[in-house]
């Protein structure tokens, strides 16, 4: 599922506001400006990798909450145990699974 579609679906629920970024550097800039409640972070992305973004988020804000989304790693990968990671979803992600996970994270 692409970024724009994901944003549209989440916003159409009326439960979530979203901010999207084209690449890792933009994601870090937007995080610094807005400090969102949750970051959905893909491991495979242009420029900075998701792993690099996660490392920098950990340095910027120890309270950052990150939901990893990837088709490149599994739930057993060490990165999923990073202090800021609150969950992991394997791609392709079913929308119902994502919404259920978000509901659990925001209960």
Check residue 60 and give its pLDDT. 95
Look up the domain containing 67 and give its range: 3-101
Residue 1: predicted pLDDT: 64
Domain assignment present for 106: no
Phi, psi of 88 (to 5 degrees): -145, 135
Instruction: Please answer whether residues 49 and 24 qualify as being in contact, where contact means their C-beta atoms are separated by less than 8 angstroms.
Output: yes
Domain of 26, CATH number, reads: 3.40.50.2300
> Residue 79: inside a domain, yes or no?
yes
If one compares 66 and 91, the residue with the highest pLDDT of the two is: 66
Whether residue 31 is contained in a domain is answered as yes
Could you read off the pLDDT of 27-81 as tens digits, one per residue? 999 999 999 999 999 988 889 999 999 999 999 999 999 999 998 888 899 999 9
Please name the residues in contact with 4: beta carbons below 8 A apart, sequence gap of 6 or more: 20
Residue 107, in any domain of the structure? no
Nearest to 70 by CA among 59, 61, 56, 82: 82
Number of domains in the chain: 1
Do residues 17 and 37 lie in contact, with contact meaning Cβ atoms separated by under 8 Å? no
CA distance 41 to 98: 13
pTM of the model: 0.91
């Amino acid at each position: 599922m692409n970024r724009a579609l994901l944003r549209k679906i989440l916003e159409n629920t009326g439960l979530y506001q979203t901010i999207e970024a084209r690449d890792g550097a933009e994601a870090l800039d937007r995080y610094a400006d807005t400090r969102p409640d949750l970051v959905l972070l893909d491991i495979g992305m242009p420029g900075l990798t998701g792993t690099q973004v996660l490392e920098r988020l950990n340095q910027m804000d120890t309270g950052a909450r990150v939901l990893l989304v990837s088709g490149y790693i599994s739930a057993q990968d060490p990165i999923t145990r990073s202090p800021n990671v609150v969950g992991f979803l394997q791609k392709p992600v079913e929308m119902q699974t994502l919404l259920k996970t978000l509901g659990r994270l925001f209960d």
